Amino acid sequence: MSPGSVTVIVPTRHRTEYVRVAVLSILASAAELALTTSVRTRVLICDDAPETDDTKELARQLGVDYARVLEHDGRADPGAAIALGVSRVDTSHQLIFGDDDLMLVRHLPLAWAKVDNGADVVSSSYQLAGADLAPARTVVLPPTCLGDLLAGHTLVNDGSLVAHDLVAELDWDASLEGQMLLPIWGELMLAGRRFDQVTEPTWLYRRHGANISAAALSPHDLGRRAEARERLRQRAVAVLGSVPESPYAAQLAEKSARAERNRRLTRRVVRRLRAGLARRLSP
């Protein structure tokens, strides 16, 4: 393993039209990182038991590494490809990047600057975009903690930059599907690792009809979420003796209470104005 190096894992299956754009954007950000540091970036496409060699050929054309899951697990989810990618990392750090998303040039340099400043896990703010990659809304990630995860507020990117040796031996359970990363981040929080955020949006989260995450909040996905949180809750109780509070949930509750107070005040003012107007208009 070489110090100061990153593997970007790109899990995919039969989506070469998206993968090409994603990988080219990663290579551009890697080139920017190399301009100011000695950090080497490796791109690893992990193909989830495809029926063709199209993605393998694309990897060859783009000059990036390729790994292939031999047997498909029947899930419409990249968990097996992610687990394979993690097992093939040979660099000091790793991150997972969606095969249909777009990395902006400053993504890797800004995340690595946080690592240089002592962060163990770095999440990056982003812009929600349409199928045409036109940005629609900016999401700036706030600081987060274990209590937030347990309360259902996952404010850590699945694609966060993390030191590989911190996660290599953890349980990358593909059966959790879209919640696969939650126990990984939870274990690092229990271990006291430092989480940080890049507040500048440095990637585009493309939303379209073929999103792998399209089933989010379906009954099946909600079941996986509940299972992952319960596992983490039991670990928290075993290690800490109790379930920590969620600062983010408290902030949301205060925001909701403040909004309700403002609505009540507005209704009171409107009633008084109407009453005063009625008195003026009465004969």
**Chain-wide mean pLDDT for the chain?**
91
Work out the average pLDDT over 157-181.
93
Cα separations (Å) of 167 from 134, 157, 172, 229, 242? 34, 15, 9, 18, 24
Cβ proximity of 19 and 12 under 8 Å:
yes
Work out the average pLDDT over 178-205.
96
Structure tokens belonging to residue 12: 């995919």
Answer whether residue 2 shows pLDDT above 60.
no
CA 262, CA 166: separation in Å to the nearest integer?
46
pLDDT of residue 1: 45
Hey, what amino acid is at 250? A
Work out the average pLDDT over 196-206.
97
Of 36-40, 129-133, 218-222, minimum mean pLDDT range? 218-222
pLDDT of residue 13: 93
pLDDT of residue 213: 55
Answer whether residue 123 shows pLDDT above 70.
yes
Cβ proximity of 69 and 28 under 8 Å:
no
Q: Among residues of the chain, what percentage have pLDDT more than 90? A: 71
Write out 5-54 in H/E/C secondary structure: EEEEEEEECCCHHHHHHHHHHHHHHHHHHHHHCCCEEEEEEEEECCCCCH
Identify which of 215, 207, 153, 213 has the alpha carbon closest to the alpha carbon of residue 185: 153
Tens digit of pLDDT for each residue in 35-94? 999 999 999 999 999 999 999 999 999 999 999 998 887 777 888 999 999 999 999 999
Name the DSSP class of 94: E
Angle, helices 16-36/107-116, rounded to nearest 10 degrees: 50
> What is this structure's pTM?
0.88
Answer whether residue 140 shows pLDDT above 50.
yes
Coil, strand or helix at 144: coil
